[in-house]
Amino acid sequence: MKVLIVGGGGREHAIAWKLAQSRRVGEIVCAPGNAGIEQIARCVPVAAEDIEGLTALAKAEQPGLTVIGPETPLAEGLTDAIEALGLKVFGPDKSCARLEASKSFTKAFLARHGIPTAGYREYTDIESLKADIGVFGFPMVLKADGLAAGKGVIIAEDRAAAESAADELMGLRTFGAAGDKVVVEEFLRGTEASMLCFVDGGAIVPMESAQDYKRIYDGDKGPNTGGMGAYSPSLLFDAAMERRVRECILLPTLAGFKADGLDFKGVLFIGLMLTDEGPKVIEFNNRFGDPETQAVLPRLKTDLAEIMLSALENNLSRTVIEWDGGVRTVCVVMAAGGYPGAYRKGDVITGLRDVPADIRVFHAGTGKNENGDIVTAGGRVLGVLGQGRTHEEARARAYEGAARISFAGAVYREDIGVVYSGFPHSRE
């Protein structure tokens, strides 16, 4: 079977690498891919946002399965467009993609189905928003309703910060139409965790847990990024917490999809806050997380293509999904200097061949220059994955790999995998 993968980041490299091991997969085509994906797939220069171009590509290639990595093409209906060609797509359709593309849609879904989440209000004009500043006290959480590449959430510590957040979102329209509606939420205190689940009409199956590190600097300081590293399994999920998440969040979510006629097929990524009152949903994403996927998929024993195909047939509940419980992973992201702001591009990456074989390097923002050298081409450049029998061993291997690789301006956190007293994302 031929598989088409849409996207070109570390997540897509991990998906391509895993699918390449499938006994069902013969050829992989990736749009647009990157310099690492190119080593295992045929890359085609069609951007992940180019819905028409991707639809035409699917029509020409006739893949047996298309897997969509990033949120934007999902929100814009790429699944629907490719399904209309009579082809199979793993990834939610446009109506389900609202679960990530509109925070207001998701908050209404959670409220309607009694799923624990922060209290909220929504605003479509700046005057009413400003009149309500401090409605849930401070810090005040303000969110652009639409997609904003993970940057549309502002946590304002006081009234002045909230005023300027309101101006930024609705006055200056920093995030464009994404800020036409603003959701204000109660501030939740606790520890964050990511849970990725395979979903079809009859089942919601959590993958092994993972922990993401969102901030740019060590000690969880500085601005938010797409994610600077991850490890799996999470050290804060015990069996009791898993049971609670299943009962209070997963099962009501699946029932909610059914009740609302949402035929979700793909990966649901649940951002959780583990609070004193129990786990609460911070957000839904409707795709694999990046870099959580790079830490989680190497621990998957079951054929990934089989799982995806079974979800498309509503067969997940009858599919056995196995994980390698004896393996721990830590993925360290190497980013370009300046990220998450404006960053350098085109710097030659050296040392990739010196990385020991047990350490896997997933490419994210990489490309080739005219000499054929692998160069930086994005904010997050590489994900270096260490694996081991213990968490500490996996962590040591990841840093051993990162130390072998260099490019001008490279930055990475030294504390990926460190569990602080409290937890990495504790806000107390």
Question: What is the DSSP-derived secondary structure letter of residue 37?
Answer: G
CA distances from 295 to 5, 24, 30, 63, 198 (A): 19, 23, 21, 27, 16
Pairing of strands 360-363, 380-388: antiparallel
Query: Judged by CB under 6 A, does residue 196 bind ligand AMP?
Result: no
Residue type, 34: N
Q: Which is nearer to ligand AMP, 147 or 377 (CB)?
A: 147
Q: Which CB, 215 or 360, lies closer to ligand AMP?
A: 215
Pick from 29, 74, 96, 282: which binds ligand AMP (CB under 6 A)?
282
The residue from 41, 118, 162, 184 that contacts ligand AMP (CB under 6 A) is 118
Q: Residue 76 is encoded by which pair of tokens?
A: 């814009």
Q: Rounded to the nearest whole angstrom, what is the least distance from the CB of residue 66 to ligand AMP in the complex?
A: 26
Is residue 290 at the binding interface for ligand GLY, with CB under 6 A as the rule?
yes
Do residues 90 and 266 make contact, with C-beta atoms less than 8 angstroms apart? yes
Asked if 5 is part of the footprint of ligand AMP (rule: CB under 6 A), the reply reads no
In sequence order, what DSSP letters do the residues of 264-331 get, joined into one string? --EEEEEEEEEETTEEEEEEEESS--TTHHHHHGGGB-S-HHHHHHHHHTT-GGG----B-TT-EEEE
**Count of beta carbons in the 10 Å neighbourhood of residue 90:** 23
Q: Does 76 contact ligand AMP by CB under 6 A? A: no
HSE at residue 199, side-chain half, CA atoms within 13 A, is: 29
Nearer to ligand AMP, 65 or 281 (CB): 281
Which of ligand AMP, ligand GLY, none does residue 265 bind (CB under 5 to 8 Å by kind)? none
For ligand GLY, give the closer residue by CB, 335 or 352: 335
Q: Which is nearer to ligand AMP, 14 or 99 (CB)?
A: 99
> Using CA atoms, how far apart are residues 82 and 61, in angstroms rounded to an integer?
11
Among 188, 236, 274, 316, binds ligand AMP (CB under 6 A): 188
Smallest separation (angstroms) from ligand AMP to the CB of 70: 15
Site residues for ligand GLY, 190-219, by CB under 6 A, read: 212
Residues that bind ligand AMP (CB under 6 A): 118, 141, 143, 150, 153, 185, 187-188, 192, 214, 271, 282-283
Residues that bind ligand GLY (CB under 6 A): 150, 212, 226-227, 285, 289-290, 292
